[in-house]
């Protein structure tokens, strides 16, 4: 059996339980992910302005701008270039007995996962500005990626590829922003 399919089955069916059904279905909804990312931005800006340090405020704005640009560029590359180019079908279209947990398939192909692209891009960007936050932020991104497989809408390689794309785009834009604005 294909390792991607085997891992999909393990996550989608093998780890199924009532708690995950509720928590992961809630967390994976697009509006919840967006709200969490926006909330993170508000916390960053509020914290920077409360400290009142010009360097903290500049860093917060850099994180917000690079994070937003990373999401936009990652979404463009993933959804407008890679998905149509690769046209990988979603799991329920090729595997029988997929557990679908109330999440629609959308209109796009499966690779890469836009949720994974966007979440990883933002978490990687914030982690560049606040390295001490990296572990919990990447943990959150991993939970979102796992949830996409758990609810039955993506294969593991879809979320791994999406996360990699998000991190790469974030890193490139972080470096570019440093050069453009004379920042470290």
* Per-position DSSP letters for 122-156, written without gaps between them: HHHHHHHH-GGGHHHHHHHHHHHHHHHHHTTS--H
Among 36-40, 60-64, 152-156, whose mean pLDDT is lowest?
36-40
Alpha-carbon torsion angle 67, 115, 120, 149, nearest 10? 170
Q: What is residue 182's DSSP assignment?
A: T
CATH number for 3-181: choose from 1.20.144.10, 3.40.50.10490, 1.20.210.10, 3.40.50.150.
1.20.144.10
Tens of pLDDT, residue by residue over 102-156, are: 777 776 799 999 999 999 999 999 999 999 989 999 999 999 999 999 999 999 9
Give the model confidence (pLDDT) of 8-30 as tens digits: 999 999 999 999 999 999 888 87
Give the pLDDT score at 183: 67
Q: Which residue has the tokens 């440093």?
A: 178
What's the confidence (pLDDT) of residue 184?
58
Task: Identify the band that residue 51 occupies on the pLDDT scale cut at 50, 70 and 90.
Answer: confident
pTM for this entry = 0.90
Query: Tokens in use for 102?
Result: 């109330």
Distances (CA, A) of 168 to 2, 11, 23, 26, 45: 27, 26, 29, 27, 24
């Amino acid at each position: 059996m294909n390792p991607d399919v085997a891992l999909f089955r393990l996550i989608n069916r093998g780890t199924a339980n009532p708690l995950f059904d509720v928590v992961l279905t809630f967390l994976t909804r697009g509006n919840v992910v967006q709200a969490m990312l926006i909330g993170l931005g508000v916390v960053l800006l509020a914290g920077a302005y409360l400290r009142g340090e010009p360097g903290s405020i500049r860093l917060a704005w850099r994180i917000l701008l690079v994070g937003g640009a990373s999401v936009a560029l990652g979404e463009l590359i993933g959804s407008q270039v890679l998905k149509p180019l690769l046209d990988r079908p979603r799991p329920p279209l090729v595997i029988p007995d997929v557990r679908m947990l109330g999440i629609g398939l959308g209109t796009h192909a499966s690779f890469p996962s836009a949720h994974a692209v966007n979440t990883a891009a933002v978490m990687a960007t914030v982690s560049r500005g606040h390295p001490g936050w990296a572990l919990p932020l990447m943990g959150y991104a991993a939970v979102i990626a796992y949830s996409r497989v758990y609810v039955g809408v993506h294969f593991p390689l879809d979320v791994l590829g999406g996360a990699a794309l998000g991190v790469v785009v974030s890193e490139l834009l972080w470096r570019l922003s440093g050069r453009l604005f004379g920042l470290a």
